[in-house]
């Protein structure tokens, strides 16, 4: 359930998306807010400007949170974003330990507006191919030392 105060934050994320377009970037904006609703950081999509396929605002904010916040603080934040995060960003959001995501437009609604922006086809994976060899550096890294 979204409160009216949260709608204000979500509208701010939409405004960030609109500003991104004015700057020549794709129309996606996000912000990270603390438990009191204070905005901690904002970002917009800069895939074109940075020539970086990972320059999504949700991913930038997840990286920022993991770098700048304690895990306890990150867990009490909410990511407000103009569109539902993609799979790449969802992975980063989970790893960064953010507390919650609120989005304005669903992936399904986005795809209806721009069909190519939907789910990317999965790349085939082959493996495990050399598990015994690959296991050695991982086991050495995680082996407890005395």
Q: Which residues does the annotation mark as catalytic?
A: 58
Residue closer to Zn ion by CB (options 74, 89) is 89
- Give the Cα separation of 98 and 103 in Å (integer): 14
Beta bridge partners of 29: 44
**Rounded to the nearest 5°, which phi and psi values hold at 29?**
-140, 150
Minimum distance of Zn ion from residue 4's CB (angstroms): 27
Minimum distance from residue 131 beta carbon to Zn ion (Å): 31
**Residue 24: left if φ>0, alpha if ψ -120 to 50, beta else—which one?**
left
CB of 88: closest distance to Zn ion in angstroms?
Answer: 5
Nearer to Zn ion (CB atom), residue 121 or residue 144 = 121
Please give the residue ranges that form the binding site for Zn ion (CB under 5 A).
56, 86, 89
Minimum CB distance to Zn ion smaller for 85 or for 97: 85
Question: Judging by DSSP bridges, how do beta strands 100-105 and 78-83 pair with one another?
Answer: parallel
């Amino acid at each position: 359930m979204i409160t009216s105060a949260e709608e204000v934050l979500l509208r701010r994320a939409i405004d960030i998306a609109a500003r991104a377009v004015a700057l020549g970037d794709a129309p996606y904006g996000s912000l990270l807010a603390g438990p009191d609703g204070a905005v901690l950081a904002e970002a917009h999509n800069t895939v074109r400007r940075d020539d970086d396929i990972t320059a999504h605002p949700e991913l930038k904010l997840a990286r920022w949170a993991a770098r700048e916040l304690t895990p306890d603080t990150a867990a009490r934040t909410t990511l407000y974003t103009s569109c539902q995060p993609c799979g790449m960003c969802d992975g980063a959001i989970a790893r960064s330990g953010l507390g919650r995501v609120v989005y304005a437009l669903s992936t399904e609604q986005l795809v209806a507006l721009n069909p190519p922006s939907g789910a990317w086809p999965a790349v085939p994976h082959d493996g495990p191919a050399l598990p015994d060899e690959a296991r050695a550096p991982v086991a050495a890294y995680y082996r407890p030392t005395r």
